[in-house]
Amino acid sequence: MNGKTDEILLEVQDLKMYFPILRGLLRRRVGDIKAVDGVSFFVRRRETLGLVGESGCGKTTVGRCVLRLYQPTAGTIKFNGTDITKIPEGKLKPIRREIGAIFQDPFSSLNPRQTAGSIVADPLRVHNLASGRDLDERVAQLFRMVGLDPRMADRVPHEFSGGQRQRIGIARALASQPSFVICDEPISALDVSIQAQIINLLEELQEKLGLTYLFIAHDLAVVQHISNRIAVMYLGRIVEITSSDELYDNPLHPYTKALLSAVPVPDPKVEKTRRRIILKGEVPSPATPPPGCHFHPRCEIATGECTEHVPPLRDVGGGHYVACFKA
């Protein structure tokens, strides 16, 4: 998968993240949970790549590997041309200054004992970016940037609403002036009425600050709105990547088609004519994934080849990549 090298901020190649399964008194390793199993993609500067899939497909694990909260089992993660998988834990500080993170649950991702101002100031202190009066001014600036009153900085998280807490989380993510931000389901815990406000805020900040996003979500309608390109994951692997419009107009992988068929269309006439694809069975366990294409046990068009061989993620034209022998 290729983009122009000077445009690419993040490039992930054949990323694997296996978690050991330990049993017995001696904690003997008896297998692995293959959370991420050979994922490759890139993100261009100032674009948003949406990463979508069902719960448990490995998309959050990909984000945590990029943050180096996990040490990947195999593969490379190049950020700004540097392979960060080889950097020792003690030397990751400059990289982590460049990569911000917005987490899913604003209720559990903020320390309940810290004030909002102290939470936002933490990255500034850790990276020695400001102190004293400069620190207070920078925190006030960040509060205004995300639409909060700086006079609220002395309050603790439980005194804020869910949407306000997520704004604090966004301010904290932007405090170290990162070029790349991982948004891990940043609106899924919020009321629908607040979700659009947060999406609009993220888009405004991207335009203003020149940010690059990896936007992880399971809601395809939201991902279409904010993303330039979308990658679809199933059971630890990416099955399709293309531009947002192309994915919705011309989905090629059977799993992508099934996901899109579940997204309601606000037109009764169109909705009545659509075919809803109901997938058979359950998602297999990542501890014992099926051989060949992971999706074949639930696929309507699977053949013998699908059960034996892993389909490569290939370009079918115009930067549309799909991992399916039948596409």
Single-letter code of the amino acid located at 157: P
Residue 80's SS3 state is coil
The Cα–Cα gap between 254 and 265 comes to 19
Residue 112 has a CB neighbour count (10 Å cut-off) of: 9
Banded pLDDT at 95 (limits 50, 70, 90):
very high
Among residues 208, 215, 239, which one has the least CA distance to residue 229?
215
Given a cut of 80, whether residue 270 has pLDDT beyond it is no
Among residues 164, 184, 208, which one has the least CA distance to residue 100?
184
Domain boundaries along the sequence of the chain: 5-292+302-322
- pLDDT score recorded for residue 118: 96
- pLDDT score recorded for residue 173: 96
- In tens, the pLDDT along 105-146 reads 888 889 999 999 999 999 999 999 998 999 999 999 999 999
Which CATH number applies to 5-292+302-322: 3.40.50.300, 3.40.50.800, 3.40.47.10, 1.20.58.410? 3.40.50.300
* Least trusted range by pLDDT, from 86-95, 233-242, 258-267, 310-319: 258-267
- pTM of the predicted structure, to 2 decimals: 0.91
- pLDDT score recorded for residue 188: 86
- pLDDT score recorded for residue 309: 94
The Cα–Cα gap between 239 and 294 comes to 10
Which neighbouring-strand residues pair with 48? 213
Given a cut of 80, whether residue 269 has pLDDT beyond it is no
Classify residue 94 by burial, with Cβ atoms within 10 Å: 0-12, 13-18, 19+: exposed
Mean pLDDT, the chain, integer: 92
